[in-house]
Chain A
Amino acid sequence: MTYITKPQLHHPKLAENALGYTRRDYEGSVSTLCAGCGHDSISAAIIQACYELDLPPHRIAKLSGIGCSSKTPDYFLGNSHGFNTVHGRMPSVLTGANLANRDLIYLGVSGDGDSASIGLGQFAHSIRRGVNMLYIVENNGVYGLTKGQFSATSDKGSKSKKGVVNHDAGIDLVSLALQMGATFVARSFSGDKAQLVPLIKAALSHRGAAFIDCVSPCVQFNNHPGSTKSYDYVREHNEAVNRMDLIPHRDAITVDYAPGETVPVTQHDGSVLQLHKLAAHYDPSDRIGALAYLQSRQALGEIVTGLLFLDPEARDLHENLDTVSAPLNTLTERELTPGSAALARLNASLR
């Protein structure tokens, strides 16, 4: 564990974003995770993405469950709202918070234990309800806090640090999210920020349930030969189907790609995703095709990464419930108890 706080002194040319904040302003306290943990890289990517999106830190709520991954919200966005909830229950608490205040930007941070074991049901339901959030799973395929047992996402046939073979089938959260109707689904790797940061930015800009499965090597217990979530294995088997730039709606699109190679996708908020195809026939607007492609590549031991599915016209929970546009927590007694005349009108309409 690092005992000193990260020095306040920073690079003299550290740039400011549109809000006048530097990237350092989006940091949290120094990580207490093991040195080299992939989760720390994901934290750094979240910091970079929020900085680049000019998000006001006090308008972000970060929620997590229990586990190494769920500790990480302490290590980024030190000036945002945070809720470290019960094991596996982050999706429900996030759903509740989102219902109460739809104006905040919701970031759910979880791990493979928190989301694929104890919280699998919670995960599935928050996705199928279309809660407007970014749900990010820091997936290391191992129970690091309890010293290296297989988790529910460990691949069948992979080996533990002590050489034990995993005989249980691994849960693929990406496939599950696709089946549950997630409208933004991506997979990435903690060791590839060039891919991860734009994905986080796009997911944060997406309205609806956005899910990122981020493979994150556990340096301590799952970074050995025989693991399918080690730095070396992921680098060797990473098959990126596309690369992406997010162009905020206020910026003019200046990058010009050869036709057919780049697909621009406009999101709800007007931002444009520029998708550069890497796999020739992969179509991220085809949910069924995506599922089939993922299965076929997985059977070959490949890890498909990139933006796997996107529905830019997605609806979210509030739209489905037809709630008022003002956050519910701002409604006062006057709006909530409109008086006997309003009640009479309502009763009359039901007669």
Chain B
Amino acid sequence: MQRTSTEGPDYFHKVVDCQWACPAHTPVPEYIRLIAEGRYTDAYMVNWKSNVFPGILGRTCDRPCEPACRRGRVEDEPVAICRLKRVAADNKEDIADRLPVPVAVSNGKRIALVGAGPASLTVARDLAPLGYELTLFDGETKAGGMIRSQIPRFRLPEEVIDEEVGYITGLGMEVRLGERVGSLKALMDEGYDAVFVGSGAPRGRDLDLPGRQEAAANIHIGIDWLSNVSFEHVNSIGKRVIVLGGGNTAMDCCRTSRRLGGEDVKVIVRSGFEEMKASAWEKEDAIHEDIPILNFLVPKEFTHQDGKLTGVVFEKVRPEYDDKGRRKLVHAGEPDQHFECDDVLIAVGQENAFPWIERDIGIAFDEWGMPQINPLTFQSTAPSVFFGGDAAFGPKNIIWAVAHGHDAAISIDKHCNGEDVAVRPAPMTTLISQKMGIHEWSYDNDPANDGRYKVPQRDKADALKDVRLEVELGFAREMAYRETQRCLNCDVQTVFAEPACIECDACVDICPTDCITFTENGDEDDLRARLKAPATNVEQALYVSDVLPTGRVMVKDEDVCLHCGLCAERCPTGAWDMQKFLLEMTHAGGSCR
């Protein structure tokens, strides 16, 4: 193999698995260390800069970082990254003096933001301090978008939303709530310099089955129903409830039902338990609240009597896999099953809807009715109209919406300054030695052996009484500290300098996870098989040195490195050093132009 090039932002970034997996590339180990030091406010601001909604995401994020976490590969479970973020939010001090100051003088550019969800709010957060005149539209009476309408209050209290949405709207912008934009053409005609569409994927899919019309009074679309609960238009449901669908919305629907009078609540899903779209922890939480999840049942018909829903008939199926491993659900050969119920919530997906965008104003749509968006710049085929969040590429989640928002803000800023939106600066990176003295590092290099700590929850009986009562109590400081100690500090990189190496093997001998090998060079497959511990995880890079005096190369498998720094401690010549890699994403502003 060639000597590994660590220049540029990507090589070391990829070693920080959590940050690499995060759509907004939040520097996770950096804020976890700050939490460990008790610097909660600093930790919060690291998050706020990167993901805009630390308190909200610390409770609701889909946490792509956690399945990526290296800790999950050296022991059973990853670091509780998401819930540590909440610790920063819960324990921070007043951050008013750390927020950008509202700009007194406008730069003369006017931007309209359609929808006040996480994507638009991120664009607003990034552009307001630059002097843009922003106008934020939303059909609801409060800002927040799906954060407020679809996520139940027992997972995310209203105060948290108000606080973090408030930090953004407080930066100085016109917020026009209760004003649903009915025509993009009309909006554009108002002379905005750019329009950002962050209107989400607001339409819940329906199931057109026999009995749907007749029993309509007791069949509800999941996201609409959740929204009605959130805005207190609905406050009860029947005793027996069936939730159709296996995603996170289904989990929110069933748990909300349990709090609004549902005693016998079931989730019934077409697919198997493992293939369900809901996150593992959301399924766990539902099961904890005595909600059974029934799998491989396809709804066939809503049964009803005298215009009132009586139940749902399901066909039992089983999975069958073809040569290519594709799954097909086939009839299981068992009789259909009928489940009685009083209400049905349909949570089988949601989709985009753009009836308010005229098709003759230069915005091209594809055959599925989605706007054609450049995935890097988020620009539509109309140069001054940008999309982001669920509106751009279909339903994802908050953290993706934030990531889109940051990128769209860069594009809008460049567009308004007459620059090419395709030309985008790389993120800023620094790589700094953590050496403080002989065998002393400026980070805590001794990883704890503890297993993952569980976030304390409110007693179930109490939690089920009130839909607005938060279930999770959050980590207390002491427990949070112990959880932080599980973090492996993957951003503190093992950096190897060939000229200093005397090939004494000290690093090989000390490495607790057998990451380092000195061996004859070969191609990648060959090398992976010949290392001290075979490097079978091909997603993880091999760090290969130049040829050393004995003709061998140093090969380090990044896969399960604990970043404990023992290689550097036992190195007599300083050929190994522990260097902190900090990557800051490019955000809209001066340095981008």
A residues in contact (CB < 8 Å) with B: 1-14, 24, 30-31, 34-38, 40-41, 43-44, 190-191, 193, 217, 219-220, 223, 231-232, 235
Given contacts A2-B570, A235-B550, contact A9 B449 (CB under 8 A): yes
Q: Are A4 and B446 in contact (CB under 8 A)?
A: yes
The answer to the question of B476 belonging to the interface, with a C-beta cut-off of 8 Å to chain A, is no
Of the residues A7, A14, A34, A40, contact of B564 by C-beta under 8 Å? A7
- Contact partner of A41 (CB less than 8 A), chosen from B504, B566, B573, is B504
Chain A residues, Cβ within 8 Å of B570: 2, 31, 35-36, 40
In the bound complex, residues from chain A placing their C-beta under 8 Å from that of B554 are none
Q: Are A4 and B534 in contact (CB under 8 A)?
A: no
Asked if B218 CB lies within 8 Å of chain A CBs, one says: no
B514 near A11 (CB under 8 angstroms)?
yes
Residues of A within 8 A of B447 (CB): 7, 9
Residue of A nearest to B570 (CB): A35
- Asked whether B502 lies within 8 Å of A36 as measured between CB atoms, the reply is yes
Name the residue on A nearest B440 (C-beta): A3
Chain B 232-270 against A: per-residue CB contact (8 Å), 1 yes, 0 no? 000000000000000000000000000000000000000
* Contacts of B495-527 to chain A: CB distance below 8 A: 502-506, 508-510, 512-515
Chain B minimum-CB-distance residue to A36: B572
Which of A8, A14, A41, A223 is the one whose CB lies under 8 Å from B506? A41
Alpha-carbon gap, A97 to B512, bound state (A) = 34
**Does A2 contact B439, Cβ atoms closer than 8 Å?**
yes
The answer to whether A13 touches B505, judged by C-beta atoms less than 8 angstroms apart, is no
What residue in chain A is nearest B532 (Cβ atoms)?
A11
9 residue pairs, one from A and one from B, having the closest CB atoms: A36-B572, A44-B509, A4-B446, A35-B572, A36-B504, A219-B572, A11-B533, A11-B513, A11-B514
Chain A binding surface SS class: loop
Known: A40-B509, A43-B509. Is A9-B562 also a contact (CB below 8 A)?
A: yes
Complexed CA–CA distance, A51 and B317 (Å): 51
- 18 A-B interface contacts by CB (under 8 A): A1-B438, A2-B510, A2-B570, A6-B510, A6-B512, A7-B512, A10-B74, A10-B514, A11-B533, A12-B560, A14-B514, A14-B533, A36-B571, A37-B506, A40-B509, A191-B504, A217-B504, A219-B504
Q: What are the residues of chain A within 8 A of B17 when measuring CB–CB? A: none
**When the two chains form their complex, are residues B506 and A13 in contact, meaning their CB atoms are under 8 A apart?**
no
In the assembled complex, B90 has its CB within 8 A of some CB on chain A? no
- Inter-chain contacts of B503 with A (CB < 8 A): 191, 231
Chain A residues with CB under 8 Å of B536's CB are 13
Q: CB-CB contacts of B544-571 with A at 8 A, as 1s and 0s?
A: 0000011000000000101010100111
Residues of B near A12 (CB, < 8 A) are 73-74, 560
Q: In the complex, which residues of chain B have a beta carbon less than 8 angstroms from the beta carbon of A8?
A: 449, 512
Given A1-B439, A12-B73, the answer on whether A36 and B446 have CB atoms closer than 8 Å is no
Task: Say yes or no: A40 contacts B506, CB within 8 Å.
Answer: yes
Of B447, B504, B562, chain A has the most CB atoms within 10 Å of the CB of B504
Min CB gap B273→A, angstroms: 25
The verdict on A34 contacting B572 (CB below 8 Å), with A4-B445, A40-B506, A43-B509 known, is yes
Task: Determine how close the nearest CB of chain A comes to the CB of B535; give it in whole angstroms.
Answer: 10
The reply to whether the CB of B75 lies closer than 8 angstroms to some CB of chain A is: yes
Distance of A232 Cα from B513 Cα, bound (Å): 28
A235 surroundings in chain B (CB, below 8 A): 549-550
Contact of A10 among B502, B513, B534, B549 (CB under 8 A): B513
Residues of B within 8 A of A193 (CB): 505
Report the Cα distance A2→B507, complex, angstroms: 13
Q: Which residue of A has the minimal Cβ distance to B510?
A: A6
Contacts of B572 in A (CB 8 A): 34-37, 219-220
